[in-house]
Structure 1
Amino acid sequence: FCLIIAGFTFLLTLRLLQISDDGFFRSLTMAAFNLVSVITTTGYASGDYLLWGPAAVMLFFFATFIGGCSGSTSGGFKMFRLYVVFTGLRAHFMRLRSPSAVVVSRIDRHEITSDIYNAVTVYVFLLTISYIAVTIALGLTGLDLITSMSAAATALANVGPGLGNIIGPAGNFQSLPDSAKWILDVAMVLGRLEFETLLVLLMPSFWRD
């Protein structure tokens, strides 16, 4: 997590040094503050990072999905889940290369069991499918592609500011159609409850028990 923040901050700082007359310290603090705010889904912005160029915007878009550390109240995938998926894929390819090998994935010497991997995979699948569905639904309300994609991401991850001229750091969600706001409301609840809680409540068997 810290390495990702450090790497993204370094790239953003270099970009700011290229396009502005600000010194190194000013560029570093601007990059670090806005990045940490997005990746931890805090919701603050000290400047319009849409003006930093397409590469910087893409970094912020990826940061929206990454989220904070496991156990935090931030949204997004979170580093623990991403690491579990990565180690699971690595173990899968290692077994393809050596079918008889015994591959055990671990985090801090703790084994990643199949139950953990399955639960994480289900969450990642649900978040991905929900993101696609919300993006399409927002597009049907008349929003442009960039606004639809960033609004879906920021709602599901509970980030705050999105991307684009309408909902970017210098904009807001006020001008969106009411139908789009309702869609984003549902997406925020799904992202905040992390899907499984709400889905369990919607299952008839839960109420029968």
Structure 2
Amino acid sequence: IVYLALTVVCILAYVLSGLTLFNAINHAMTTIATGGFSTHDASFGTYRGAPEVIATVFMVLASLPFVRYVQFLAGSAQPLYRDSQIRAFLATVGLLIVTVTLFRLVVSGDEPLPALREASFNITSIITGTGYASTDYQLWGAFPIAIFFFVGLIGGCAGSTSCSVKVFRYQIVFIAISNQIRRIHSPHGVFKPKYEGRSLTEDVISSVTAFMTLFFVTLGVLSVLLSATGLDFVTSVSGAATAIANVGPGLGHIIGPAGNFGPLNDAAKWILIAGMLLGRLELMVVFVLFTSRFWRT
């Protein structure tokens, strides 16, 4: 019901911003699903102004835990704004938008409002895994390009429609690292890592650590395999990252925001297909299928 309600409201907002009903429905469905497909070859570059702002807002909403909306509708607003995952996600998005906008203003001398709008839209699109592009942000410089590469490996919140690693896993890893540093500093101390007010068990920490390790090892393997098909380094690494994180556009002149995956050879496409499946199924489920113990039981 929450998903449907967000989609309907998004459709209405797009229509009011000037999109035809057909385009509004199509874009709303891929906005809330963080799918990113557009009815235009130029993706969201066809639209400027209000549609970009609307898409940005709804991409963020679709990347928050849907259970918090249910709790909010049930009359409890506290979980929505007290969730550390939501706060961390929104803070990260806000910081990245401000950073890229300021870079464009200082280095490129761009107009403030267009710079803010384009940075907001494209940062949100990549970090949520939606994959829309309103402009070729590779033209903004090396620093924004590096940011766009890494934000695609973050993702939204658990329990949302977004993909990639997701914020809560990074939070747990940082908590585990902080806890380990405290142990080194005070070897005889007793420290209990907590998340959302609950103690983190070793099973949870090891599970998240295993996923993160497997994610980045798989990313490296996919990058090497793509390089073996004849692709350049940037295309190989960004292609592997965007596949396993289910983002969409990569980097470089072939698969960047102004390009597409059409020119790639068949071998590269099969590797990317495998990467997308692994990423969408969150790795562990797939790798379990290849263990002998699974088939024996």
Q: Please report the TM-score for the alignment, with normalisation by the length of structure 1.
A: 0.96
Map Cα deviations across residues 9-40 of structure 1 (whole Å, 9 max, x no partner).
00111122242542x22211110110000000
1:130 corresponds in structure 2 to: 218
1:47 corresponds in structure 2 to: 135
Q: Secondary structure at the match of 1:181?
A: helix
Contact 1:151 1:167 in 2 (8 A): yes
1:75 shift after superposition? 2.0
Map Cα deviations across residues 134-158 of structure 1 (whole Å, 9 max, x no partner).
0000000000000001000000000
| Structure-1 separation of matches of 2:101 and 2:185 | 41
1:196 shift after superposition? 1.1
Contact 1:76 1:157 in 2 (8 A): yes
- Relative distance call for 1:163 and 1:193 in structure 2 (3 A) is same
Q: Match for 1:189: what amino acid?
A: L
**Number of equivalences:** 208
1:169 corresponds in structure 2 to: 257
Task: Tell me which structure has the larger Cα radius of gyration.
Answer: 2
1:202 shift after superposition? 2.4
1:59 corresponds in structure 2 to: 147
1:78 corresponds in structure 2 to: 166
1:148 corresponds in structure 2 to: 236
Q: Secondary structure at the match of 1:66?
A: coil
Q: Match for 1:66: what amino acid?
A: I
1:98 shift after superposition? 0.4
Map Cα deviations across residues 175-208 of structure 1 (whole Å, 9 max, x no partner).
0110000000000000000011112222233233
Q: Please report the TM-score for the alignment, with normalisation by the length of structure 2.
A: 0.68
| Structure-2 separation of matches of 1:26 and 1:85 | 36
Q: Match for 1:39: what amino acid?
A: I
| Structure-1 separation of matches of 2:120 and 2:175 | 28
1:74 shift after superposition? 1.9
Contact 1:75 1:156 in 2 (8 A): no
| Structure-2 separation of matches of 1:21 and 1:163 | 22
Higher relative contact order (Cα pairs below 8 Å, separated by 6+ residues) = 1
| Structure-2 separation of matches of 1:72 and 1:168 | 26
Question: Are residue 9 (structure 1) and residue 110 (structure 2) matched?
Answer: no
CA RMSD across the alignment: 1.1
| Structure-2 separation of matches of 1:69 and 1:180 | 30
Q: Secondary structure at the match of 1:103?
A: coil
1:8 shift after superposition? 0.6
